[in-house]
Amino acid sequence: MGFVFNPGQQRAVSELLTTTARFCLMYGGSRSGKTALAVSCIIDRALIADGSRHLIVRRTAGAAVRAIVKDTFPKVWRLKFPDVTRPNYNSQLGCFVMPNGSEIWIGGLNDDNAVERILGNEYATIYINEASEVPFASFTLLRSRLAQVCTKRNGKQLAQKLYLDLNPTTIQHWTYKQFVLKTEPETGDKISDPDRYGFIQINPTDNLANLSDDYILDLKSLSSRARKRFYDGNFGSDDDAALWRREWIKIAPTGPDGKWPVEMRRIVVAIDPAASSKPGSDETGIVAAGLGVDNRGYILTDESGRYKPEEWAKKSVALYRSLDADRIVAEVNNGGDMVESMIRAVDNLIPYKAVHASRGKVTRAEPVAALYELGKISHCAELSELVDQMCAVTIDFNRADQGWSPDRVDALVWAVTDIFPNLTSTRKRANSNQIAAPSFSMV
């Protein structure tokens, strides 16, 4: 059946899910069983309250369908009800219809039409899967739909619950502030009703019955940074020597047209291609940046990931087209002429520029980080994975010591450098260790 529930793990989570807390966070290491336990709980709640409605969301609809509809829900159903036919999934509506008329909706937050359809309902349960990828604004919006009043078969009212899970990122993430520190993420003020926010930590060691020894050994062998997140399941602190500080990274408000904060004068898509797409290899950084009519920089999106060459080429060209960008910029140290060949194979007319890394990563990144400190660059979305990587690159960063490559950051740096062509110009300073100010003026 794929997995079983560990009795101790199930008991601990059951205590959280049945607590009086209205909002419940499960965080911890990779493959610890958080999603399966949350889905199991939602199935139970749907079956004990006829006609109730429940929602499971992720950042993207595609990820929600792959993870929940095609994987976790069928496995949990077979485990709980091996002799009962699984409810049908209505792909047109985006929900499972239970035998008692209850509905479990599955959706993503990246599709405006889907979100509009989702928010047209009220729910007795909402579950945010992989909340590290979801901005605080979405949590605020979703909790406004936690409003369905329904009755259990015993005549008692079903308590409204909002569940979240994630592999923890850093103590700056809004889930840590909201659930662990009990503070408002945007203001830092103490929450007036802390008892309504509960959390529990679950790690791979709580789910050993479903994991191989090799997988556990692999988690233990990760770099200290990755092990802390994926094995120990702990929120991390940013390095004091990091080039970026989270307080410098601001999310710009949406513009009046529902798109960018301001009109973009120039948009570029930057690529830092990886040498391999095998599991455990570096990512290919794909970041789009824009220069606004206000002469400020905006990071529009981060589409980085592990891709084969033909995949990152297609994704980059598709992003170029969707953003109506001005050109694609790509680092060619690893791929040489192959990088341009892959882009040209997709679209031979794409404006393209090859860039060479003649200086070290930190040297290239320092002027860009300085712009963030000056408040000259904003992000147009949360981009949590990019931000985590930015805040992990230190002034003495050495890939050999760290065991990972900041490919998202590399792409970001190339993109910002291209929209500000004088960024790499330096002035002689009395102290050669100081960063030269960018040789351009900005409003």
Encode pLDDT of 108-120 as tens digits. Answer: 987 677 777 788 8
pLDDT at 427 over 50: no
Nearest Cα residue to 404 out of 303, 281, 304: 281
Provide the pairing of β-strand 103-108 with 95-97: antiparallel
pLDDT band at residue 16, thresholds of 50, 70 and 90? low
pLDDT band at residue 428, thresholds of 50, 70 and 90? very low
Encode pLDDT of 139-180 as tens digits. Answer: 998 999 999 999 999 999 999 999 999 988 877 788 998 999
Encode pLDDT of 96-107 as tens digits. Answer: 999 999 999 999
- Greater confidence (43 vs 173) lies with 43
**Residue 354 β-bridge partners:** 330
Taking the CA of residue 66 as centre, how many other CA atoms within 13 Å lie in the half-sphere pointing to its CB?
6
pLDDT band at residue 439, thresholds of 50, 70 and 90? very low
Nearest Cα residue to 346 out of 322, 320, 310: 310
DSSP state of 71: I
What is the average per-residue pLDDT within 214-231? 80
d(CA 15, CA 426): 59
pLDDT at 333 over 70: yes
Q: Is 391:248 a contact under the CB 8 Å cutoff?
A: no
What does the angle CA 197 – CA 46 – CA 204 come to, to the nearest 5 degrees?
A: 55
d(CA 249, CA 268): 20
Nearest Cα residue to 353 out of 325, 373, 374, 380: 325
Tokens encoding 155: 């005549």
Encode pLDDT of 244-290 as tens digits. Answer: 988 899 999 888 777 899 999 999 999 999 866 555 457 899 999 99
d(CA 199, CA 13): 9
Q: Hey, what domains does the chain have and what are their CATH numbers?
A: 7-230 (3.40.50.300), 246-419 (3.30.420.240)
d(CA 418, CA 422): 9
Torsion of CA 22, 27, 31, 32, to 10 degrees: -70
pLDDT band at residue 412, thresholds of 50, 70 and 90? very high
What is the average per-residue pLDDT within 111-136? 86
Collapsing DSSP states into helix, strand and coil, what is residue 175? helix
pLDDT band at residue 437, thresholds of 50, 70 and 90? very low
Nearest Cα residue to 285 out of 296, 269, 261, 297: 269
The type of residue at 254 is T
Question: Which helix H or strand E contains 331, and what residues bound it?
Answer: strand 327-331
How high is the pLDDT of residue 253? 86
The type of residue at 313 is A
What is the average per-residue pLDDT within 170-196? 88
